[in-house]
Structure 1
Amino acid sequence: MKLASYNVRYDIKPDNITVQQSLDSLATTDPLKPPIYLALTEEQPWSTRRLRVAEILLNEDVALIGFQEALIRQVNDLKELLGDDWAWIGVGREDGVKKGEFSPIFYKCSEIELLSTDSFWLSKTPFKPSKYPGAGCTRVCTVGRLRTIKERKQFTALNTHLDHSSDEQRRFGASLLLHRARFEAMSTHSAVFVLGDFNSSSAQTDSGAYQIITGSIPPLPIDPVFTQKYPIDPAQLPSFGCLDLRTEGPRRNVSSNFATFTAFRKPGNTKDWSRIDFVFGGSNRGWLVKQYNVRSSRSDDGILASDHRPVFVDVDLLSG
């Protein structure tokens, strides 16, 4: 099963071009005519970028995708482009319905079935749309309990986007994610995956959230309401953490691309590059990593599908 995490950049340049109009425009393009190489170096409208996003994903034969920054119109566009074999779960972070950015989980219906889903907010009032004090934005996590159709193996996926401006929110959010992931591991006795844009690197000064989710430093105290809804037996999985799946596969099968955020910069400008997008696996295991790959988002004509690169991980589920 191939998992992916992809921040697609919210639609900052909206227009009225439909998906079908974008697809129809391809029919008027000569497939043998070379582009003007690297001609475009700035952010392009979503109506242009969405075809590139779908192209990357469909060429990877991915089965589950955690998107970040997708507004409802982008969610609907992605559903249309990926096709009828895809379904999705998630809510708008501003109202718990359709307002604001989503952190949706898309899954391929011919390979995966949904057992249950819920969402929670990465704030001090996690069961209603809310923003952590001092955070730049409201942040939400989408949770899905799923099962592979062929092997009947269950797993849980959590997908989220931590704050861009508040390190305290990132640390608090990571603490909630770690608790919920441990609860899922204990409750389902199956694999757990955490996907998302952490806005926290694995190696720099802003690595607090990364260190918490991986168990390198202790989590922050979280709301008792959350721990009461998702109770944990201290005796079970006492050293539970989430493992960075880049470190868990055969070294020769790990992508040489390291950065996942590139910004909309010209080729060769690596000023903002960093690794902040991750796929983690619970330390209770139940999975085996076969390959880890970070794909470029840039096409020959210079268009960047997003200011992030997609992260792909091939896993075998071993139990559940």
Structure 2
Amino acid sequence: MKLKFLFIISLFITTSISLKAQSFNVATFNIRYDNPRDSGNLWIDRAPIVSNLIRFHDFDVFGVQEGLKNQLDDMSKALPEYSRYGLGRDDGKEAGEHSAIYYKKDRFKLIKSGDFWLSETPNTPGKGWDATCCNRICTWVYLEDIKTKKKFYTFNVHFDHQGVIARKESGKLMVQKIKEIAANEPVLLTGDLNGSRESEWYLTIANSGILNDVYKGVKYPYENNSSSNGFRTPRGMGVIDHIFMSKQFKASKWGILTDTYFGKFPSDHFPVMATVSL
């Protein structure tokens, strides 16, 4: 009887550890580019807050938007437990903003990685459709969980903020590229889509049949205000920062993290985090 009891306890502990090992935190975070005109909200002051937030909330895999090379370097220095991948959108090297992906190096192994641009010519840097301001880039990684040996893709993207056609076409391109790159493998997509859940480009992804909004997969989403704030108290409930998952994932948490410091905000967007299991 004693041996049977010990066996059951051992099995319970092993199962609990296994289940815990399979769940992890994924997040999307527009960190606001290092703009010297952001008086009172300069990157030099926000940088340690951003890194502290990431570590405290224990992000395992996360995508950032608007990250310039110096910002990514600052974060990597402050967060040595993470590796990152992502090219600059302006030249496919280091210039311009990045849609980089960070992942815990003791938890995941990088198998493959890549980037493409949101344009009619996705393999080369350039603006797409009616975008007038900026090149837009999507970064992706193929990761293996070191413990479970399970593999999955993560895509991270930042849609245009002005061109409506560019956003509509970017939604279509994302679905096309995810099918092309990931095929039937498990997929996560993080990003600032510059569009709410009612926007056509969001719905293109959400109704694609390959990805579902993690928000809709949890019973109690933590959504107390909008996902952007403009460095001031937000108004309304609009969410433009999203996390999607393929059918191989299940979600237990989704929330907008509204951390502040001395009444200030780490960025002009709040990070959005979800806990998922594969």
Normalised by the shorter chain, which TM-score bucket?
0.7 to 0.9
Aligned-partner Cα distance in 1 for 2:259–2:269: 7
Partner of 2:213: 244
1:74 counterpart = 2:71? yes
Q: CA deviation at 1:42?
A: 6.4
Give the aligned partner of residue 222 of structure 1.
none
User: Quick one: which of 197, 201, 208 aligns to 1:202?
Assistant: 197
Letter paired with 2:85: I
Note if contact 2:225-2:235 (Cα within 8 Å) is conserved in structure 1. Answer: no
Matched, 1:154 2:189: no
Provide closer, same or farther for how the CA distance between residues 288 and 51 of structure 1 changes in structure 2, counting only shifts above 3 A.
Answer: same
Matched, 1:281 2:242: no
Contact 1:42/1:264 (<8 A) preserved: no
Show the 5 A alignment for 1:26-105. Answer: 43-83=40-80, 85-105=81-101
Quick one: distance in 1 between partners of 2:56 and 2:258? Answer: 13
Q: Structure 2: any 5+ residue segments left out of the alignment?
A: 1-23
Checking the alignment, whether the CA contact within 8 Å between 2:227 and 2:269 is kept in structure 1 is yes
Question: Are positions 1:313 and 2:267 aligned together?
Answer: no
Aligned length in residues: 254
CA distance in 2, matches of 1:48, 1:152: 39
Q: TM-score, normalised by structure 2?
A: 0.87
Q: Which amino acid aligns with 2:57?
A: E
SS of the counterpart of 1:278? strand
What is the SS of the residue equivalent to 1:213? helix
Alignment counterpart, residue 212 of structure 1, candidates 200, 204, 209? 204
1:28-48 superposed Cα distances (whole Å, 9 cap, x missing partner): xxxxxxxxxxxxx96511011
Pick from 240, 255, 259: which aligns with 1:293? Answer: 255
Measure, in 1, the Cα distance between the counterparts of 2:92 and 2:35.
21
Query: Which has the higher relative contact order, 1 or 2, with Cα contacts under 8 A spaced 6 or more apart?
Result: 1
> In structure 2, what is the Cα distance between the partners aligned to 1:256 and 1:172?
28
TM-score by length of 1: 0.76
Contact (CA 8 Å) 2:231, 2:264: kept in 1 or not?
no
Q: Which runs of 4+ in 1 moved over 3 A?
A: none
Q: Tell me the CA shift for residue 82 of structure 1.
A: 1.1
Which secondary structure state, in structure 2, belongs to the residue aligned with residue 67 of structure 1? strand
Identity %: 30
SS at match of 1:293: strand
SS in 2 for 1:55: helix
- Determine the structure 1 residue equivalent to 2:26: 3
What SS does the corresponding residue of 2:76 show, helix, strand or coil? helix
- Residue of structure 1 equivalent to 2:235: 270
Alpha-carbon separation, structure 1, partners of 2:265 and 2:260: 4
**Letter in structure 2 aligned against 1:302:** G
SS state at 2:243 partner: strand
